[in-house]
Structure 1
Amino acid sequence: MSLLRQAAVAARAVSRSSAFSTSAVARKDIVQDLYIKELKGYKAPPTAKDAHVGAVKAYSLPPAPKVPTLPSDLAAELSAYDAAEPTKADAPKVAATGAEHVGEGAEGFLEVLEADLPKHDAHH
């Protein structure tokens, strides 16, 4: 038992002494020091005063909009507009879809839907 007691006393003495340190040793980072030194010593090259020429367009104000003018006889123009009858020539033309419509409107559409499908000679 005396051997165990001596080992415990020696372990306590070593832990109290400064032979073993629990704190990490501060080491210098050479790469970081060089990097910071180069950053501090960097001087940006001076830019020329006309460096922006060719990269930036000259700004010019757009022309001022003109004030719209009212017609002199507004009531006569409104009554002429109301009296005008719209014609089919003024209506936009619908492009042909390739489907043959039997009639116009809902009835024509329903007739197309109810029509028999064309029969194809398919050989299976």
Structure 2
Amino acid sequence: MSTFLRQATCVARNVSRTRAFSSTTTARKDLVQDLYLREIKAYKPAPVAKDAHVGVVKAYTLPPTPKPPVLPTDLAAELSAYDAAEPGVAGASAQATTTEAPTGADEFLTFLEQDLPKKEAHH
């Protein structure tokens, strides 16, 4: 019978500890959560006006229709002028004439010692 009494007292101790622990946790309330929930429930959104978009949204207008290209009156003369023109880049021909390649070693060294031409800054 003594083992029974020991087991009963152990169980009684565990129950008393559990009750004391659980009773303190239920007594505490989360005040911040209660305040938050009360404010959420009391919130009423402002009614939206039916014409709220007026003045904010721009009216859509179609872009103007493009005009069809017109053929030149003297097509043969323009084609012959195009055939006679030299192909190439516009800036490359002027740059090639100003700088000539050095032929000897001394000329090459003096070419390297020269300052580079200043270019315009493109912004």
TM-score (norm 2): 0.50
Bigger share in helix = 2
TM-score (norm 1): 0.49
